[in-house]
Amino acid sequence: MTTDDAQHASKLTPAQAKLLQYVDALDGPNRVKALKWVHDVVVYDSNEPLYCKEKEALYQVKVLWQLIEETLNNEQ
């Protein structure tokens, strides 16, 4: 971790810092794009009905990409 990384990390909550560690390892911006793509394909390009469990899973995908985006934005 560089000095800049440490300064950015001090502004984050412990949970955000932990998430950022995972996101950095997974190339966060590309993961956000992938999660959005999966969500949009299921919602807009599928003819399959969405039941309660599927809707909940899609919501969790959306929350995940929003948390990753927020954490990446806080890092800057």
Q: What is the pLDDT of residues 11-53, one digit of tens each?
A: 777 877 776 676 666 677 888 888 888 888 888 888 888 899 8
pTM of structure: 0.59
Count of all residues that appear for the chain in the document: 76
Nearest Cα residue to 74 out of 19, 1, 32: 19
Q: Between the CA of residue 11 and those of 3, 19, 20, 31, 72, what are the distances in Å?
A: 13, 14, 12, 23, 12
Question: Euclidean distance between the first and final Cα of the chain, in Å?
Answer: 15
